């Protein structure tokens, strides 16, 4: 399970994210429909700047392999960010 902790002033928020939700997110992000929509939006915004850029399709098998490997590293801290105003974001496995 992925644990996301956010501290902002007096507010403290802890969000547990099960691996099932990560796998659903991978399925959505790696779908061809989402990729086409994102590339369409990027193309519209880049047309104004006269540049071309496309986002490649994500490989679902590789992303699931990464999640599978991360499951074996419990308590690993992925992100630990502290802002000058006291806001903290910590993401742990």
Q: Over the stretch 33-85, which tens digit does the pLDDT of each residue have?
A: 988 888 888 887 777 767 777 778 888 888 888 888 888 888 899 999 999 99
pTM for the model: 0.66
Q: What is the 3-state secondary structure (H, E, C) of 45-61?
A: HHHHHCCCCCCCCCCHH
Report domain extents, the chain. 2-92
Lowest mean pLDDT across 7-16, 26-35, 43-52: 43-52
Cα atoms found within 13 Å of the Cα of residue 80, Cβ hemisphere only = 5
């Amino acid at each position: 399970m992925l644990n996301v902790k956010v501290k902002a002033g007096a507010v403290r928020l802890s969000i547990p994210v099960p691996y099932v939700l990560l796998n659903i997110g991978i399925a959505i992000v790696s779908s061809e429909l989402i990729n086409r929509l994102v590339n369409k939006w990027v193309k519209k915004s880049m047309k104004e700047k006269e540049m071309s850029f496309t986002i490649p399709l994500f490989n679902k098998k590789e992303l699931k392999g990464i999640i599978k490997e991360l499951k074996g590293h419990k308590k690993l801290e992925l992100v630990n960010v502290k802002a000058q105003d006291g806001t903290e974001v910590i993401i742990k496995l």
